[in-house]
Amino acid sequence: MDRQIRPIYEALDTGSNKSAILACNKVLKKQPNNNLVKSLKALALVRSQKVEEALLLCDEVLAAKPVDDPTLTAMMHVLRGLGRHMDMVTMYEDAYKQQPGNEELGTQTFFANVRIGNWKAAQQIATKMHKQFQDDHYLYWSVMSALLQAHDPTTPEALRTVLLKLAHRLLSSSATPSFYNADRFHLHVTVLRELGLYDEAYEMVESETGKIVCSGNLACDELRREIWKLKGLAKEAGERAEKRIVEAKDRNWLEFLAVLDGTFADLTSDPSDVEAAKAAVAERIPKTREFFGKVVEEDGVKDRSGHLALLELEKRSRHHGLATDSTALNSLLESYFQSFGGKACCYEDLKPYIALEGDELAQWTAVLEKQTATFTSVPDLWRYINAQKLLRYNLPASALTPEAESQRAVQYLDAYLEGLKLGKDLPSYDLQPADDLAILSAQAFVNIWQQTKDESFLYNAAALLEYAIARSKMSYQIRLHLVRIYRLLGAPSLALEHYRSINVKQVQNDTLSHFVLSRASTFSLSSIGDLTYTTECLESSRIYLSNSEETAEFIVRAFGGEKYSQIPDFIVFEDRLDNSLQRDLVKMEHVRMRIAHEPINSELVDMELIELKFIFDRVHHDNRDFDILANYQPRGVATFNQQTEFLEKTPGLGWLWVFLKIYIKAFQLASDLDDTVEDKLLIGDRPKPSYDPETKIPLNERLATKKQEEIDELTPDEALFYEYASALSQWLAPYHDYARPPPSAVLAEAAKITEQKTGHTLRGVEIPPEAATNGHAKKDEEPPAVVEPPATISQYFDDMSKRLKELLEGKGLPHELLHVVTLTQEAFLLFVIETTRFKTPSVIKVNKFGALAQHIKEIRAKASGILSEISGALVSYAEREATAERRKEVLEACKPIIHESGLDHDFVLNVAKKITDARKQIADGVGKGMVRVTKTHA
């Protein structure tokens, strides 16, 4: 038998799924009931995307209730590939029931429940295994499962305390003390903390063995700090931290914070007598200052902790009105700058302490202005860069005129070009030390653009950053700045090129993809078959698939290796990625691109409807990283991130809800699926039900609800699109509801298709003999009367045409033009989706919808005409972009930054050509794509 099966495993290992299927068929001819071979064939079929055939084999093997390890392992991979995790749990539970003495089966049943987060069942299995096999680690599995069940949002409040008490009782009954293993110790203390038994937890962490465990394990030490804080021992923690700083020379910043928290403990613990507390704190502040002063003397410039602690002490003293020396903060700032001004971290270190006013600001500014743009070493250069950043932070509004900012931008650029000389011998993969001066210059230009709305300043920023990236190829910061600027300039191909050069990996696809995929459908050329942005959406979404496949395995491994302190973090990580806001914003953009490229048929409509409904029930986490984008703008103006926001609004949860409502409603009308049919045709498990009470409201009621906070996240053009979409769906809903075939007819059609594909009937579905398979059965009630379409529908296309003309005449930025154009095309496609049902003459005839068909025809003709006009205007605009005159305009605009050394006329001309070509490409592509869309759906 091994000789026959080995080729199957080898074929599966090498990805030769076709060979594996043939090898399985060969064995199954002789042994038709061999469950292992059936499960291996099912695995090969799943990997070949032949889901219907895999399902049949899968059900046959599950019905046989296998218990042998090879079959169970193969079936585990099959069920995971099909998303049938509940069936995996049932399979292992059945096997364990048949062989209750098999420890390995018990363990696998526990792990199957862990993978789907079924903590109640996991806890029961672990308890049973502990009683049966008397192994301590099963007891800790049970405790961990009880703790996780208590933290589960779906667990009732009353039950949580019961579960925690159960966990505590189990730990107390353990024959082996928890301190033999650091993670068991961590779990024990965590349970005590959750129950509020702080005294008992304190005794544990402060016992001799507890101290040893905490000193050798960071997670336990962190928990120890938390227990001290919860017991209100801030002063004692401060004293302990002082000892560690002096005796162990510990320079962990947490120890310095503990000293500071201890110093101000009387005031931060809601004192009854505020004055007495202030007096006690005022007495301790000089002692703490003296202590930190000694640390500074001892460390000198070897370590920054003492210096920063003195600054933090002064800041907190001022906050509580206990500062005694008005010059102290300036002296500390000056001292810090003298010691560490030549380090890259100086600006970020000092930023929390430099919001100064009046004389203090004047004195601080005078110190910084002494730094000149002459540097002979990298520390000198960094000292100058930090001085410029710190000066810029406090610039008043009166100093931010376009003229003054232009002067500064050129000053930063001159210093940057001078600073490049210090890095001329660096290898190509190193960052130039002067990079931040180029970023400062670019941000100054963007600030002028924000004030004047003159796009010539964006050209300057783009050209000088292109020069900088050519000399510092690995700088993600410069590339992110270019991504933002190119999107504003309507050059998406250049933005995408820089984003891809950053080479984002793994979870960065979730935190950073918003830079290039936010409202990406505006720049999509899917209508002419260019799937660049569509592919980027799919590429960035791979992390979510690997998260759902791999993170559960990490949790299983953590249980296996008894790494209990890591398990909650893995669970949070999995949940935040599974319910990521960015994941679903990208999904929404992908749907918007897909309808412009693919034929609009029942397969697309049904698949997207089911997926979007799942998304609509999720609780979302926003994992997007906006802080990664450096901000060197003065504190009185918007941040660089806010200044370069695409269309001045970043899509968030409200934006997603609006577009989900629009598309769910549209697909719902176009689809023949209802909830009963959907349940029967769904292959994998449904997602876990959300704990948000709003999801309990009926779907149609939620879709009809309009919330102002959601509309506030839309641009004015998107808000108009929302009104149009709502009017369209309200008008057509009664006709769809009347014409839609009954569920039995839909199921009969699905069964027929499945039988044609696989030769077997649809599993678990009984088709009544009277089901009218064409869906045109005679209806008892009369069809709804056809009413005139709301004026909003046809008026929308006129309004958008007018809006485009205004932008063209008023010289709007390219991304604003594209936003209007792509929304108009999307409105047409939405109309197509919602009227496809009424294109079939038999549907019109049977349901007596002749008048409705006429209205649809008129609106379609008008919309097609306006789209053709817009297309012509956009193609003409594209032609103007690619001319030599246009390039010359960009070149003229960049005169302030042109230097003889490197950043010369030819370099800037090349950048101008790249920008104008990219703009021509997108405008021309979108324009021609509109013609194609109107012809396809004429």
Task: Decide: 886 and 816 in contact? Cβ < 8 Å.
Answer: no
Task: Decide: 410 and 897 in contact? Cβ < 8 Å.
Answer: yes
HSE of 471, CA atoms in CB hemisphere, 13 A: 22
Please state which of the ranges 1-5, 368-372, 395-399, 421-425 shows the lowest mean pLDDT.
1-5
Report how far residue 528's alpha carbon sits from residue 530's, in angstroms, rounded to the nearest whole number. 6
Q: Can you tell me whether residue 118 is helix, strand or coil?
A: coil
763: pLDDT confidence band, cut at 50, 70 and 90?
Answer: low
Amino acid at 439: I
Residues 6 or more apart whose CB falls under 8 angstroms from that of 231 comprise 198, 199, 202
As a whole number, mean pLDDT of residues 467-476 equals: 95
Q: Can you tell me whether residue 862 is helix, strand or coil?
A: helix
pLDDT, residue 900, reads 76
Torsions phi, psi for 621 (to 5 deg): -115, 130
pLDDT in tens, 622-671: 999 999 999 999 999 999 999 999 998 999 999 999 999 999 999 999 99
As a whole number, mean pLDDT of residues 510-537 equals: 94
Q: Can you tell me whether residue 219 is helix, strand or coil?
A: helix
Report how far residue 565's alpha carbon sits from residue 506's, in angstroms, rounded to the nearest whole number. 23
As a whole number, mean pLDDT of residues 668-684 equals: 74
pLDDT in tens, 557-585: 999 999 999 999 999 999 999 999 999 99
- What is the average pLDDT value for the chain, to the nearest integer? 91
pLDDT, residue 84, reads 87
pLDDT in tens, 813-843: 899 999 999 999 999 999 999 999 999 899 9
Report how far residue 700's alpha carbon sits from residue 697's, in angstroms, rounded to the nearest whole number. 9
What DSSP character marks residue 836?
G
**DSSP calls for 90-111:** HHHHHHHHH-TT-HHHHHHHHH
What DSSP character marks residue 621?
B
- Cβ neighbours, 10 Å, residue 603: 10
Model confidence, pTM: 0.92
**DSSP calls for 238-293:** HHHHHHHHHHS----HHHHHHHHHHHTHHHHS--SSHHHHHHHHHHHHHHHHHHHH
Report how far residue 736's alpha carbon sits from residue 741's, in angstroms, rounded to the nearest whole number. 10
Share of the chain above pLDDT 90, in %: 80
Residues 6 or more apart whose CB falls under 8 angstroms from that of 530 comprise 925
As a whole number, mean pLDDT of residues 39-65 equals: 91
Task: Decide: 660 and 421 in contact? Cβ < 8 Å.
Answer: no
Q: Residue holding tokens 């485009």?
A: 804
Task: Decide: 730 and 788 in contact? Cβ < 8 Å.
Answer: no
- Axis-axis angle for helices 253-263, 305-319 (nearest 10): 30
As a whole number, mean pLDDT of residues 704-717 equals: 95
3-state secondary structure 346-396: HHHHHHHHCCCCHHHHHHHHHHHHCCCCCCCCHHHHHHHHHHHHHHHHCCC
pLDDT, residue 691, reads 74
pLDDT, residue 772, reads 46
- Cα–Cα distances (Å) from 321 to 270, 345, 360, in that order, read 16, 29, 17
- Cα–Cα distances (Å) from 590 to 225, 587, 603, 611, in that order, read 46, 5, 16, 12
As a whole number, mean pLDDT of residues 728-739 equals: 94
Report how far residue 699's alpha carbon sits from residue 92's, in angstroms, rounded to the nearest whole number. 36
pLDDT in tens, 485-500: 999 999 999 999 999 9
As a whole number, mean pLDDT of residues 151-156 equals: 90
Report how far residue 232's alpha carbon sits from residue 228's, in angstroms, rounded to the nearest whole number. 6
pLDDT, residue 767, reads 59
As a whole number, mean pLDDT of residues 204-223 equals: 94
Reference 773, options 793, 749, 751; nearest CA is 749
**DSSP calls for 311-328:** HHHHHHHHHTT----TTH
Reference 82, options 111, 24, 43; nearest CA is 43
Q: Structure tokens of 593? A: 């691109």
Ramachandran sector of residue 796 (left: φ over 0; alpha: ψ -120 to 50; beta: rest): alpha
Report how far residue 18's alpha carbon sits from residue 880's, in angstroms, rounded to the nearest whole number. 54
- Axis-axis angle for helices 85-98, 51-63 (nearest 10): 20
Q: Residue holding tokens 């209990």?
A: 564
Please state which of the ranges 31-40, 104-113, 309-318, 675-684 shows the lowest mean pLDDT.
675-684
791: pLDDT confidence band, cut at 50, 70 and 90?
Answer: very high
Residues 6 or more apart whose CB falls under 8 angstroms from that of 233 comprise 202
Burial label for 536, CB within 10 Å (0-12, 13-18, 19+), is buried
- Cα–Cα distances (Å) from 128 to 116, 132, 643, in that order, read 20, 6, 60
As a whole number, mean pLDDT of residues 334-363 equals: 94
Number of H helices, E strands in the chain: 48, 0
Report how far residue 924's alpha carbon sits from residue 298's, in angstroms, rounded to the nearest whole number. 67
pLDDT in tens, 278-314: 999 999 999 999 999 999 999 999 999 999 999 999 9
Report how far residue 737's alpha carbon sits from residue 839's, in angstroms, rounded to the nearest whole number. 16
Report how far residue 233's alpha carbon sits from residue 241's, in angstroms, rounded to the nearest whole number. 12
As a whole number, mean pLDDT of residues 876-880 equals: 93
**DSSP calls for 658-718:** HHHHHHHHHHHHH----HHHHHHH--SPPPPPP--GGGGS-HHHHHH---HHHHTTS-HHH
CA 293 to chain centre: 44
pLDDT, residue 742, reads 85
What DSSP character marks residue 790?
P
Q: Can you tell me whether residue 762 is helix, strand or coil?
A: coil
Q: Residue holding tokens 């219907």?
A: 52
pLDDT, residue 867, reads 96
CA 676 to chain centre: 33
Report how far residue 197's alpha carbon sits from residue 189's, in angstroms, rounded to the nearest whole number. 9
